[in-house]
Structure 1
Amino acid sequence: MPSPAKRAAGALALALWLGLVAGCSDDPGLALGEERIDPEEAALERAMTARILEIGQRHRAAGEAIPRFNQPKTVACARATFEIPPHTGELARGLFAEPGEYAALLRFANATRQDDREKDLRGLSVRLAGVKGAEGVDGTRGRQDFLFNSHPALFAGTPEDFHRFVSAVADDRLWWYFLNPLAPQPKSLWIALRARSQPDSPLAIGYYSTTPYRYGDDETSAVKYAVRPCDGTGGAAANGDGADGDDPDYLRHAMAAQLAEGEACLTFMVQFQTDPDSMPIEDASVTWDEDASPFRPVARLTLPPQEIDDPDALARCESLVFNPWNTHPAHRPLGGINRLRRDIYQAAGELRTTHNATLSAPETP
């Protein structure tokens, strides 16, 4: 058996390794807010789009509804007001330059599981309507989307990692992405295991954009977004004790009960990039240090009392295609993962919604 000294040395080595993989950029030398586009990125995007559409075509051929590639279960869909207070200095840019209110739609989701009782990554998609200057990928004006996960880092943080992950899913052997002995992914596995949670309610945890965005017209300005409960809790998606052993939809029902009694409040926040090496643009697997650059509130999401478990409302929410490129130009997505998302999300969403609408359409007499 190893001596206490050897065990301590081993623990220290592991801690140092985890710190290195979680907090260092693989692409030093970039300036603040600067991107670096790999020449092979377009080819990766085309290959990934083809594999994701292949998955959808398999469902279509089987006569099944095509699920979302990511965050397939709609836990809840809620109306909200997105209120921007007056700001000064670097916070007063783009959408946040002037105070105002916007109608918002919030989709809460599970990343992989249909049963809320299983530990999983949780998702939040926010859509604002009537944002002057914003434009959707399909040309719809006024549309501003923000996409979040309940963990601050992605387990596939670069286009190359994302490509390997998509290929593993398409080949129905997700485990191969993490455990392939020829290309092991210990950091990805570590993030994926840490990211899973079992919260008491979708409104009780924090959500993170994980990927960076421009903030205003300054080319050196980049931020990540977060959404947290207004009471200051929810800094991480901690395990809760509210799971009902008999209810696979307990998250939806917990949120429905809360909004039946009164309103809920979420704070929308930004975190500025202050060091291009330790806060990289091109690696979404790296969490930006909140001690070095805290999240700062810029808006408030207020959810009024409402019914969220109406089947028709859930169906309407399920038909939406969210995309980080539905945006005001002052908040343009940055980094390789975001660049890939634009066309992949649009193509997969169009196939999914078109096919699923056909399945649900009433038969012609």
Structure 2
Amino acid sequence: MADPLQYERYEGGSAEAERLLFERLRADIVRVQQKNQQAAGAGSPARVFHASPVLGLDNARLRFLDSLPAGLSGGFAQPGAAYPVTVRLSSSTGIPRPDAAPDLRGVALRIQAAQDQSHDLLMLNTPASHAADAREFVAFATVMAGVTSTAAVASRFLFALPRAVGWSTANRMRRVLQAATGRKVGSLARETYWSQSPILWADAGPVRYLLRPRDSDTGVPAPRRDRSDPRYLRTELARRLAQEDIVFELCLQLFADEARTPVENASVEWPEDIAPPVPVALLTIERQDIDSEEAQAASRRIEQLAFTPWNTTDMFRPLGNLNRSRKTLYEASSAARLGRRSSV
């Protein structure tokens, strides 16, 4: 198995120094969660991010290709292997908003490889993160905590964010997020989702992964966005799944070198001409009625789950500063939301 230490550089010069930083950032994230709860008028904390669920179901299926290259095989990733998958599609802000509000869209997968082994894959519909590392990520979240309007977001981009991270970083964040949230999203079934941060993939070393629609066209026409329907994205998925399966390709982008495909800087897109996506599996969400009592019960169960890239094995270990911070930050957030004592 590849040694992740050859790819990673810990902030502060050691894993312990970086861990102490993450513990300080943990308190900031909990405060963000509390501010969002107050702004939403909620009786209990929501997810600090992705508080707006669009669809949750537990009957999807991931099947690795029979032609999976030998260099990409390892652990649960084997040619022809198939596993049940829980899928959660969501909008990314920590305060629930109507689907028509500008936002990033995300997907979380839980692949059940065995009774005692699962793997969580988390992605957004933009190829690079607005934040290079954990410091930037938490600084941005802190500045935007409790925001409930587009005007307030613009104001904080203009004044508060530059004070927190500097003008250059603030401008980069603004450009990335405006490009990602300015697009009109008609269907979450037709979006591509990227991991943004790398993971170890068995002996292949670091990879970023992505989900993209298997076909460039579909039998169900793209709908017009109905702003009168606050849940139009879910309405569209319900209509689509009543008529057809939704199928995505799971693809890997392989690490080339630190300059062009950095491990530690999540704000740098891995170019497809340098790291072309290699299809490795198909994710299938079968045709179904997502408004049935059974589907609604599954959706409620999924809202009690805590997705984290650290729900995996050493062979598929998350890499990079931003991913390493998630072990601390996500655990603290889920502990507050689910009423558990944080063990971090």
Q: TM-score with structure 1 length normalisation?
A: 0.78
Q: CA deviation at 1:348?
A: 0.9
Amino acid at match of 2:126: H
Q: Residues 188-243 of structure 1, C-alpha deviation per residue, up to 9 Å, x if partnerless?
A: 1111111113311110110000000111135xx11000001110479xxxxx7621
Q: Which residue of 1 aligns with 2:236?
A: 254
After superposition, the CA RMSD in angstroms is 2.6
Query: Judging changes above 3 Å, is the alpha-carbon distance between structure 1 residues 171 and 200 closer, same or farther for their aligned structure 2 residues?
Result: closer
Of 300-309 and 246-255, more deviation after overlay is shown by 300-309
Q: Which residue of 2 aligns with 1:361?
A: none
Are 1:223 and 2:210 an aligned pair? no
Summarize the alignment of residues 320-331 of structure 1 with structure 2, pairs less than 5 Å apart.
320-331=305-316
Q: CA deviation at 1:186?
A: 1.1
Summarize the alignment of residues 1-365 of structure 1 with structure 2, pairs less than 5 Å apart.
34-39=7-12, 40-57=17-34, 59=37, 64-78=43-57, 79-86=59-66, 87-112=68-93, 114-131=97-114, 141-170=116-145, 174-175=156-157, 176=159, 178-180=161-163, 183-184=166-167, 185-196=170-181, 197-217=183-203, 221-232=205-216, 242-309=224-291, 311-354=296-339
Amino acid at match of 2:76: L
CA distance in 2, matches of 1:268, 1:249: 27
Residues 104 and 125 of structure 2 are in contact (CA less than 8 Å); yes or no, is this contact kept in structure 1?
yes
**Equivalent residue of 2:202, what SS?**
coil
**Equivalent residue of 1:322, what SS?**
coil
Q: CA deviation at 1:98?
A: 4.0
Residues 127 and 143 of structure 1 are in contact (CA less than 8 Å); yes or no, is this contact kept in structure 2?
yes
**Equivalent residue of 2:203, what SS?**
coil
Residues 49 and 344 of structure 1 are in contact (CA less than 8 Å); yes or no, is this contact kept in structure 2?
yes
Q: Structure 1: state its 5+ residue gaps.
A: 1-30, 133-140, 235-239, 356-365
CA distance in 2, matches of 1:170, 1:114: 14
Of 76-85 and 39-48, more deviation after overlay is shown by 39-48
CA distance in 2, matches of 1:348, 1:32: 27
Amino acid at match of 1:223: V
Q: CA deviation at 1:67?
A: 1.5
Q: Which residue of 2 aligns with 1:20?
A: none
Q: Residues 153-173 of structure 1, C-alpha deviation per residue, up to 9 Å, x if partnerless?
A: 111121221232233245868
Q: CA deviation at 1:91?
A: 2.0
Q: CA deviation at 1:53?
A: 1.9
Query: Judging changes above 3 Å, is the alpha-carbon distance between structure 1 residues 284 and 68 closer, same or farther for their aligned structure 2 residues?
Result: same
Q: CA deviation at 1:63?
A: 6.4
**Equivalent residue of 1:94, what SS?**
coil
Q: CA deviation at 1:54?
A: 2.7
Residues 76 and 107 of structure 1 are in contact (CA less than 8 Å); yes or no, is this contact kept in structure 2?
yes
CA distance in 2, matches of 1:206, 1:323: 20
**Equivalent residue of 2:234, what SS?**
helix
Amino acid at match of 1:54: R
Amino acid at match of 1:347: A
Residues 63 and 80 of structure 2 are in contact (CA less than 8 Å); yes or no, is this contact kept in structure 1?
yes
Identity among equivalent pairs (%): 28
Query: Judging changes above 3 Å, is the alpha-carbon distance between structure 1 residues 233 and 151 closer, same or farther for their aligned structure 2 residues?
Result: farther
Residues 29 and 138 of structure 2 are in contact (CA less than 8 Å); yes or no, is this contact kept in structure 1?
no
